[in-house]
Amino acid sequence: MTTGHVRGIDALEFIKKFCLHDHVSGRDEMTDAQREIYEVIDEWWKKFGYGPSIDNIMTMTGDKGRGNVHRKIRSLLRAGHLKGVPNMARSIRPAYLRVYKIEDR
């Protein structure tokens, strides 16, 4: 997988160096179930460049109900660990990521 470059810096290195500390410090306040969902969303963004669906999260975490996943996502949104655009599919992302096309809406 190729990554983009920002002024000669690899994009993943940039995230680790300048952004990673912001979301790692806040992860201590999450429950284990919330942390698992957060990590699934974070890894999905790193791998595909867009957010997972609720069904994708259910599959990866082993949750059996969409409502359970949705409730945990809502609590992560309220706590500020995740961001998203209301009524827009796959817009859920870790708060440290900046996606300009989504945020401009």
The answer to whether residue 12 sits within a structural domain is no
CATH number where 35 lies: 1.10.10.10
The answer to whether residue 28 sits within a structural domain is yes
pLDDT of residue 42: 95
For 20, what's the count of Cα atoms within 13 Å in the CB-facing half-sphere?
10
- Quick check: pTM over 0.85? no
Number of domains in the chain: 1
The answer to whether residue 6 sits within a structural domain is no
Q: At what angle do helices 54-61 and 66-79 cross, to 10 degrees?
A: 100
Q: How many CB atoms lie within 10 A of CB 11?
A: 13
The answer to whether residue 76 sits within a structural domain is yes
Token digits of residue 90: 């796959």
User: Per-residue pLDDT tens for 58-99?
Assistant: 999 999 999 999 999 999 999 999 998 888 888 899 998 887
CA dihedral (50, 54, 55, 58) in degrees, to 10, reads: 110
Q: Are 15 and 21 in contact (CB under 8 A)?
A: no
User: Per-residue pLDDT tens for 24-68?
Assistant: 444 458 899 999 999 999 999 999 989 999 999 999 999 999 999
